[in-house]
Structure 1
């Protein structure tokens, strides 16, 4: 994942502190603008795994 573009898709609904739109935690969303590129890449990788888990349980919303 080379892009560090904000992954927000304007859904912003949470399930157990995880946004069902982008997969980030509330803390990660608040910190996003202050993170460096490497930390953003880590957050993006972790959020992608969370989204897969949400999809597997049928709790993910797509735009």
Structure 2
């Protein structure tokens, strides 16, 4: 059994879904639901993926 994660939630309290992705923190709905039971490693992976999504969205917005 893996230890539950200890990472602070990446939630920035700007929750607004665009399809399956939160525009505030960049997490997918499945990642948001998984967060509380995710291991530390899983939480770090979720944070990394969300950070990449936010960066890609910012690049797309800057190119408009």
Per the normalisation by structure 2, the TM-score is 0.80
The list of structure 1 runs, each at least 4 consecutive aligned residues, that deviate by more than 2 angstroms after superposition, is none
The structure number with the bigger radius of gyration is 2
Instruction: In structure 1, list runs of 5 or more residues that go unmatched.
Output: 59-63
Equivalenced residue count is 57
Instruction: In structure 2, list runs of 5 or more residues that go unmatched.
Output: 1-5
RMSD in angstroms over aligned alpha carbons?
1.7
1:16 Cα deviation from its structure 2 partner = 2.9
